[in-house]
Homo-oligomer: A and B are copies of this chain.
Amino acid sequence: MSLLHPDRLFPVDTRGRDLARDLFATIKDLPIVSPHGHTDPRWWGENETFSDPSSLLFTPDHYLTRMLTSQGVSFAAMGIGPDAEPDPRRIWKTFADHYYLFAGTPSRMWVDQALEDVFGVSERLSPKTANDAYDAIAEKLPQPEFRPRALYERFGISAIATTDSALDDLRWHRKALEDNWQGRVLPTYRPDAVIDPDAPGFARNLDRLGELTNCDTGRWQGYLDAHRARRAFFIEMGATASDHGHPTPRTADLSAADAETLFDRIRAGRPESGDAELFRAQMLTEMARMSVEDGLVLQIHAGSSRSHSDEVREAFGTDRGFDIPVPVSFTEALRPLLNAVGLDPRLTVVLYTLDESTYTRELAPLCGVWPCLLLGPPWWFHDSYEGMRRYRAGVTETAGFWNLAGFNDDTRALCSIPARHDVARRVDCAYLADLVTTHRLDEAEAFAIAPLLANGLAERAFRL
C-alpha cells in the first residue's frame, strides 16, 4: 500500500499518460539542482541530527501552519511563540488532527511523499496514524543516514543555494567547504537589510556593513564599495546569485549626484516622502551594474505585503504565513534598470511574481525580448499542479523554453525537496505530452526538452 500512485499528475488519456510516463522515466533520476531556497546553512555545516519530527517537518513550514491558523488552531498548539506546547509529540498530533485540511493542496502531496519516500510511512497522516508515524520518524532521525549531508546525497542534490544576509559571516558554508564535503551549498547575497531603509535597524546594519568591509558606509561611494566587497566575499564562498525581495519591482536610474543626495538624506535619518521606495529602486539598478562586473545573477521578487497581521508579527514574528500578494506591474517598473544595462550580454536577471496576471501580460513579453531577462518558476503559492500548468500555458507561447530560469523549490522544508522536484517534473512531462498529443511538438523534441526543464535550465540560468 502506498500514498503515491506511479501515474500521479499525468494526463488521463492513454496516449498522453503513456508518453508522460516515458518522458518522466528519462528525467526522474536526474540530479536535483536547487538554486534558490531557504534551508538552514547550519544543517549543512554542522551536520547534526534533527531533534524531532515536528520541528523538522511541521513547525517551521508556514505553508502548513498557516492552514491550521486559518481554522483557528493557536500558534501555541503548533509549538510557536511565548506559551508554546513543549511536547513535539503533541504538536505532531495537532498537525495530524488537521491534516485533512490539506486535501487538494500541494502541501499534501509534498508531506505524503516526504513521509513515504524519506521515512517509509505509507499511511496517510490522521488522528489515528499520528502516533505510529511519529514513532517511525523519531526512530529514524538519530540514524546517520538521516543527518543533513546524508539526506543531501540520498536526495540526489548536485547543488543547493541558501539565502543569506549581506551581513552574514557564512561560517556554515565555510565549514562545509573546509570539511571537503562533496556537497555543494552556495550562499546567495540577500542585501535587503542594508538596502531597504524601512528594514528594522537599517542604520545599524549599515554601520555593521562598514565594519565588515572597512568601507565608509556613511558615504554613497563607500556604501557601494561595501556591497562590492561583500559580493566578492559571497562569490569566494561559492555564490552565483543575489536575491532581492522588494515591496514593488520599481527600479530607478538616477544621476550619480542625485543618487548620492538621496543616500545622504536617508543616511542622515531625514528621508523625504518616497525616498525609501526610490532608494530601493535605485539600488536594484546599482546591483545590476555590479552584476555586470562580477557575474552574480540578479533575482528580483516583488509584490508581497509582509506580515499582514500586526498582532501575529508582534507576538510570533515574521514568516508565519501572513505574507499576502498584491497587484504588481513590471513593465514600467523595470524600464530604468533595463535601459541602463539590459542589453549587456554579461547580465542575467531572474524575475519572480506572485501575481499570475503578469505572466501573459508582462513577464513572457519582457523575457521574450530582453536578453538579460529570464522568468523564474511558478513560485510560493503557485508551485503546484494547477499553478505550474497555468505557468506553462501562459508563458511558453510567448517566451518559449529558453527564456526561463528552470525550476527551483524555494523551500526551508528540507524533506519536501525531492517531492517538490518530483511534482514539477511530473507536471512538466504532462505538459510536454500535451504538446505532443495536440501536435504542437514532436515527440523527439519533448524528450530533448524534458531534461532542460528538470535541471538544465536552472544550471544554465544560475551559472552552476
Interface residues of A (CB under 8 A from B): 5, 7-13, 15-16, 66-67, 69-72, 101-106, 108-109, 124, 305, 308-312, 321-322, 324-327, 329, 331-332, 335, 338-339, 342-343, 345, 354-357, 360-362, 364-371, 373, 381-382, 384-387, 390, 393-394, 396-403, 434-435, 437-442, 445, 449
> Given known contacts A356-B361, A398-B105, is B310 in contact with A438 (CB within 8 Å)?
no
A355 to chain B: which residues have CB within 8 Å?
Answer: 357, 361
- In the complex the two chains form, is B104's CB within 8 Å of A441's CB? yes
Pick the contact of A16 from B12, B16, B367, B373 — CB < 8 Å?
Answer: B12
Please name the 9 residue pairs, one residue from A and one from B, whose CB atoms are nearest each other, closest first: A8-B439, A5-B439, A66-B369, A384-B397, A357-B357, A104-B396, A386-B393, A321-B369, A72-B371
Cβ contacts under 8 Å, A342 to chain B? 309
Return chain B residues, CB-CB under 8 Å to A103: 400-401, 441, 445, 449
Interface contact A400-B67, CB-CB below 8 Å: yes
- Are B438 and A369 closer than 8 Å at their CB atoms? no
Copies of this chain held together in the complex: 3
Within the complex, the shortest CB–CB distance from A207 to chain B, in Å, comes to 33
CB-based contact B357/A69 at 8 Å: no
Q: How far is the CB of A30 from chain B (nearest CB, A)?
A: 20
Q: In the bound complex, what is the Cα–Cα distance between A308 and B103 (angstroms)?
A: 42
Establish whether residues A329 and B326, one from each chain, have CB atoms under 8 Å apart when the complex forms. Answer: yes
Contact A398 B369 (CB under 8 A): no
Interchain residue pairs with CB less than 8 A apart (21): A8-B438, A13-B13, A67-B400, A69-B370, A70-B373, A70-B399, A102-B400, A103-B400, A104-B441, A105-B396, A105-B398, A309-B338, A324-B366, A325-B331, A326-B362, A356-B361, A381-B397, A381-B398, A384-B397, A386-B393, A390-B393
Contact B387 A360 (CB under 8 A): yes
Residue of B nearest to A431 (CB): B104
- Taking a contact as CB atoms under 8 Å apart, the answer to whether B71 and A402 are in contact is yes
- Nearest chain B CB to A388's CB is how many angstroms away? 10
| A135→B81 CA distance, assembly (Å) | 70
CB distance from A309 to the nearest CB of B (A): 6
Question: CB distance A387 to B397 under 8 Å?
Answer: yes
Q: In the complex, which residue of chain B has the Cβ closest to the Cβ of A370?
A: B70
On chain B, the residues within 8 Å of A325 by CB distance are: 331, 361-362, 365
In this complex, what residue of B is CB-closest to A303? B361
When distances are taken between beta carbons in the complex, the residues of chain B under 8 Å from A71 are: 371, 402-403
Taken together as a complex, chains A and B put the C-alpha atoms of A398 and B69 apart, in Å, by 13
Q: How far is the CB of A387 from the nearest CB of chain B, in Å?
A: 6
Known contacts A12-B437, A102-B400; 7 additional CB pairs below 8 A are A9-B439, A9-B440, A103-B441, A305-B331, A305-B335, A384-B397, A385-B438
CB-defined contacts of A305 to chain B, threshold 8 Å:
331-332, 335
Contact assessment for B400 and A381 in the assembled complex, using a CB-CB cutoff below 8 Å: no
**Which chain B residues border A381 with CB–CB below 8 Å?**
360, 364-365, 397-398
Chain B residues within an 8 Å CB radius of A438:
8-10, 12, 385
Q: Which residues of B contact A367 (CB under 8 A)?
A: 70
Point out the residues of chain B lying under 8 angstroms from A329, CB to CB: 326-327
| A385 and B397 contact, CB distance less than 8 A | yes
Closest CB in chain B relative to A100 CB, distance in Å = 8
Residue of chain B at shortest CB distance from A108: B440
Given contacts A71-B371, A367-B70, contact A397 B326 (CB under 8 A): no
Contact of A310 among B326, B339, B400, B441 (CB under 8 A): B339
- A71 to B362: give the CA distance in the assembly, Å: 18
Contact residues in B for A441 (Cβ distance below 8 Å): 103-104
Interface centre among A66, A362, A366, A440 (most CB of B within 10 A): A440
Instruction: Tell which of A312, A342, A386 has the most Cβ of chain B within 10 Å.
Output: A386
**Distance from A224 Cβ to chain B, minimum over Cβ atoms (Å):** 24
Please tell me if the beta carbons of A386 and B382 are within 8 angstroms of each other in the complex.
Answer: no
| Given A385-B397, A397-B104, A331 contacting B324 (CB threshold 8 A) | yes
